[in-house]
Amino acid sequence: MDSSAEFFCAFCGEVNYTVVDFGGGFSQSYVEDCQVCCQPNVLYVRVDEDTLEIEIDSEPES
């Protein structure tokens, strides 16, 4: 089961890669720093219960 996913940094727009822990549920949110510009992004993670497909939206941490 592949739990890696990508998101775009809300600050610099660069692609980042992360690993999603399915133990946190099918809907999660947490802060992760951009791997390029080091700014904090709030990630909103949704996992499809049937296919385990991962979607991530990001926004700047305020």
Say if residue 1's pLDDT is above 80: no
- Taking CA atoms, 23 is separated from 5, 15, 18, 33, 59, in Å, by 15, 24, 15, 21, 23
Domain boundaries, the chain: 4-60
The tokens describing 40, both together, are 């904090």
The pLDDT of residue 2 is 65
Backbone angles phi, psi at 55, to 5 degrees: -125, 135
DSSP 26: S
Q: What is the pLDDT of residues 3-62, one digit of tens each?
A: 999 999 999 999 999 999 999 999 999 999 999 999 999 999 999 999 999 999 999 998
The pLDDT of residue 62 is 84
pTM, two decimals, is: 0.91
